[in-house]
Amino acid sequence: MLAKIYWQGRKKWLFLFFTTFPRMRIIGFLICIVLALPGFAQQAGQYSRADLESRKQQIQAEIDDAQKQLDETKKNKNATMGQLHALENKLAVRQKLINNINDEIENISSTIQTSATEVQILRETLEQYKVRYAQSIRYSYETRSSFGMLAFIFSSSSYNDAMKRMGYLKKFRDYRKQQVEQIRITQAQIEHKIGVLNSQRAQKDELLSSQVQQTQQLKKETEETNQVVQELKGKEKELAENIEKNKKAAKRLDKAISDIIRREIELARKQAEEEAKKKAAEEKAGLATSNRPAGIKVTTLPGNTSATAATNNYTPPARIAAPTSYSLSLTPEVTALSNNFQANKGNLPWPVEKGFIAEPFGRHKHAVAEKVMVENEGLEIQTSENATARAVFDGTVTSVSYIPGMGQLILIKHGEFFTAYSRIENAIVKKGDNVHIKQVLGTVMLNDDNIPMMHFELWKVGANDKAAPVDPALWIAPMR
């Protein structure tokens, strides 16, 4: 009888401990791993949402600036090209804001899905905890006889064996407490996750509402832009005259820039040749002195160069060749400046503090007269009243001149690169000045429509010493 009780108690407790307890620990460990992964995903999503929110604030600031410039253009009761450019700029910024909102919606939708998955996993985990806990309680109830536990302990073969069995029973009791704590913690996690999920859904609803508002505003501004275009099309004769006038002024400007850069290239090559001749003469004089025998006075007859060479036993040095290209004629300091300019492509500051590109670089259709093609060697940058032009990089002013129809032209050399700032008045720099990045050069003048508009160009000297304009939009940083 005692043997039967012993084996029954031993079988029940060993089965309960060695099957249920280790298996639950493994299940809990795996669940923790699964739950940790979405947590990392959500954390990454939060950083991404923060970036999107920061970008949205920057775009909103751009919209505010665009509205201010648009209000300035509306001071002229008649529709102008400046007003059209301001409207088009505002449309572009508005569309950028809508795109950013769409990115936020997509991001938060992904986060909501992740949170919903976490809640589902937690609920399944809670159910497993409850089932296992119920099983242990039911099993404990079925084996609640204290005689069974005592038989399990007293049937030990030794004192050490009895102590181990008492330890097993204690661990099982602690494990049941741990089950209760896991159930409590999991329930709290579910409540927290549900709260986060509801907050995320509220944010998504807010973003969707903002998306609708911005889309309606975009539609309204598009209609206003189309109206201005129609008004301007009614002034085709005036537009054609202005286009032709601007073309002539642009040609004068580009010729002036090209001529100045060509003179700079010739001047640099000439200076390099003179420097090469000077070094050759110095080297020749140094070798003649070092090859002359000590204590011998040399007398040379006029025009008898061979006798002089023979007397001095002089060996002419190899001729130092002058640089064959503009880049090779630059000093090490200027070459370093040029390389630094190249390295900052895409990060150069704007030539004005605030503004937008009204006319892009290259050949494109006119904004109103679509049949007319416009060739632009730089950027037309529309800015605010009393705005100042500023240098985009360190350099040396090579020219300050006046171009009819384009105001003052300021040309700055940066090694192999030249930046040109026109439609400037009251220039405060002069030829030969060394300027620094963001240094004020002068005031942006008003165009025929009383709109502050600056023309900015960027030229690069090629391998064949031919200078050509490049798209400045690829070199300046995005406006912030």
Name the nearest CA neighbour of 93 among 125, 133, 128, 62. Answer: 62
- CA distance to 3, 259, 377, 395, 466, per residue, from 463 (Å): 103, 18, 20, 21, 7
pTM: 0.65
**How many whole angstroms separate alpha carbon 237 and alpha carbon 20?**
92
pLDDT in tens for each of the 480 residues of the chain? 434 444 444 444 444 444 444 444 444 444 444 444 444 344 434 446 677 777 767 676 766 676 666 666 666 655 677 878 888 888 888 888 888 888 888 888 888 888 888 888 888 888 887 787 777 777 666 655 554 556 666 676 777 777 777 776 677 667 667 767 777 888 888 888 888 888 878 888 888 888 888 888 888 888 888 887 777 777 777 777 787 888 888 899 999 999 999 999 988 888 878 877 887 777 777 665 555 555 444 444 444 544 444 444 545 554 555 556 788 788 889 899 999 999 999 999 999 998 999 889 988 887 776 677 788 899 999 998 889 999 999 999 999 999 998 999 999 999 999 999 999 999 999 999 999 999 999 999 998 888 899 999 999 998 788 899 999 999 998 865
Q: What distances in angstroms separate CA 54 from CA 61, 97, 215, 239, 341, one per listed residue?
A: 11, 12, 20, 41, 29
| 77 three-class SS | coil
For the chain, the farthest-separated pair of C-alpha atoms sits apart, in whole angstroms, at 143
Render 463-480 in DSSP notation, one character per residue: TTS-EEEE-GGGTBPPP-
